[in-house]
Amino acid sequence: MKDQLEALKSEALASVQEASDLKTLQDLRVKYLGKKGPITEVLRGMGKLSPEERPVIGQLANDIRNAIQAAIEDKQRKLEEEAIQKRLASETIDVTLPGRVMPKANIHPLTAIVEEIEDLFIGMGFSVEEGPEVETDYYNFEALNLPKDHPARDMQDSFYITEDLLLRTQTSPVQARSMEKHRGQGPVKIICPGKVYRRDNDDATHSHQFMQIEGLYVDKNVRLSDLKGVLTVFAKKMFGEDRDIRFRPSFFPFTEPSVEMDISCFRCKGDGCSLCKHTGWIEILGSGMVHPNVLEMSGFDPKVYTGFAFGMGPERIAMLKYGIDDIRHYYTNDRRFLSQFKQV
């Protein structure tokens, strides 16, 4: 009987070794270790053995059983491992193929510039105000110290709808309207972005429609030095800490004194090039202390309040910042243009 068991063991182990798939292995498990299997058979016939032989054979049968069991399990792991390897090999992809396109676009570069400027000034305590694009002559001109026949009106030819209504030529009317809303009580600390319109033929540097951002800060004791301080912070953040900034006197009807702010040229760093017309400086914004007439017309007492105002053109700023060469691109909306501003 011992020999019989030993023969069974070698046979079973050989079969397990040969098994090449899990199904065969399962069949072998049933065949050798199942209830009707040979080992069970052997154990069942134990009764015929002598009491001395019984434990010996019993022990042997169990050992063989365990050995077969272990061999099957071992084989099973191997086969499973092989199967996974095979599957993974068949599932391998070419990771250099292009990724699937997820639709993703971006905002308009002008929006990007405007929001960047808004955020810079919000950080300095300004809020954002908007106003109508069809304005009255009063708010567009007169409330800004530009009476009819004022020579400065020459500086901006306008689109009139009626004698009294026109497309605003500047966002400054929003300042006048905001001041009126405050009823003579400061502080007023706002920036006003928006579209403006002037009678210009569209070409590479002119557009009949463009954007402006203006700012206004009216309070007691606002000084020209504050204008310099606030606009310097703005310019450094917007254009880089290494830019030189220059303030020089200028003229605007709604400010007195008036100030022009230049920054050192982006391209030549101040040495002089075609971008800065060989001056080393680039004009960025106009500003000044709010004219007492403007304060007064909007209900603020110029003896008590002073303020500063400034204005700039997002188109021009984006052109300088990104090297855009034609203002018309902003309004043509060519996808090949728009899609270049993903990062902004």
| 222 sits near other proteins (criterion: CB under 8 A) | yes
CA distance 267 to 271: 9
Q: How does DSSP assign 269-285, residue by residue? A: TTS--TTTTTSSEEEEE
Selected binder of other proteins within 101, 241, 242, 343 (CB under 8 A): 101
CA distances in angstroms from 13 to 2, 8, 10, listed in the order given = 17, 8, 5
Out of 45, 55, 123, 323, which residue is the one contacting other proteins (CB under 8 A)?
Answer: 123
**Min. distance of Cβ 281 from other proteins in angstroms?**
9
Q: Could you say whether residue 110 binds other proteins (CB under 8 A)?
A: yes
What's the closest the beta carbon of residue 321 comes to other proteins, in angstroms?
17
34, 55, 229, 323: which one contacts other proteins (CB under 8 A)?
Answer: 229
Q: Should residue 334 be labelled a site residue for other proteins when binding is judged by CB under 8 A? A: yes
DSSP state for residue 17 in the 8-state scheme: H
Q: Does 299 bind other proteins (CB under 8 A)?
A: no
Contact status: 161 vs other proteins (CB under 8 A)? yes
End-to-end CA distance of the chain: 87
- Binding to other proteins by residue 322, rule CB under 8 A? no
Q: Tell me the β-bridge partners of 218.
A: 188, 307
- Name residues contacting other proteins, limited to 237-256 (CB under 8 A): 246-251, 253, 256
Tell me the C-alpha distance between 129 and 140, whole Å.
Answer: 16
Residue 146 CB, nearest approach to other proteins (Å)? 10
How many other β-carbons are positioned within 10 Å of the β-carbon of residue 71?
A: 21
Closer to other proteins at the Cβ: 69 or 340? 340
Taking the complex as a whole, the smallest distance from the CB of residue 271 to other proteins amounts, in Å, to 15
Q: Which residues, numbered 58-87, are part of the site for other proteins (CB under 8 A)?
A: none
Q: Are 334 and 324 in contact (CB under 8 A)?
A: no
Beta carbons within 8 Å of 82's beta carbon, 6+ residues apart: none
Shortest Å distance, C-beta 132 to other proteins: 5
Phi, psi of 266 (to 5 degrees): -60, -40
Total residues contacting other proteins (rule CB under 8 A)?
85
Among positions 22, 165, 238, 268, the unique one binding other proteins when judged by CB under 8 A: 165
Residue matched to tokens 């300088």: 320
Interacting span for other proteins (CB under 8 A) from 59-67, 80-88, 101-109, 174-182: 101-109
Report if residue 187 touches other proteins, rule: CB under 8 A. yes
| Residue 222 CB-density burial (10 A; 0-12 exposed, 13-18 middle, 19+ buried) | buried
